[in-house]
Amino acid sequence: MTRAVVLFGHGSRDPAWRQPIEAVAERLRSAEPGLPVRCAYLELSEPDLPQTAAELAELGTTQLRIVPMFLGVGRHAREDLPALVEALRARHPQIAFELQPAVGEDPRLLDLLARIARG
């Protein structure tokens, strides 16, 4: 099975906004060099998730993990993203899509943020 990871963010008109997500992608690529890692965005930035999934499908991806890079879980993470993933499942039935919880729901990240805040 050929797997890949997409780090999914909201997007912004400000190109500097992408830097943290792209830094995470680079760290993931360094840790697992053979793993295709992409960034995709809901709006205001390119590429979007459908473009990214189509590119990875062309590369032969059969398992795609989508990691929402959201601290808070609002409407985009609760409603928009699951609907988008369902549409991708219909469009790319050869790919097993795995939608992870938002990173802000992971206790490890919350612990790290608390340590950073403590200084």
**Residue 104: C-alpha distances to residues 1, 27, 39 (Å):** 29, 19, 17
CB atoms within 10 A of CB 64: 26
Catalytic one of 4, 10, 45, 53? 10
Annotated catalytic residue 10: yes
Rounded-to-integer distance, Cα 115 and Cα 119, Å: 6
Rounded-to-integer distance, Cα 115 and Cα 113, Å: 5
3-state secondary structure of 77: helix
Q: Which two tokens stand for residue 76?
A: 């985009």
Catalytic residues: 10
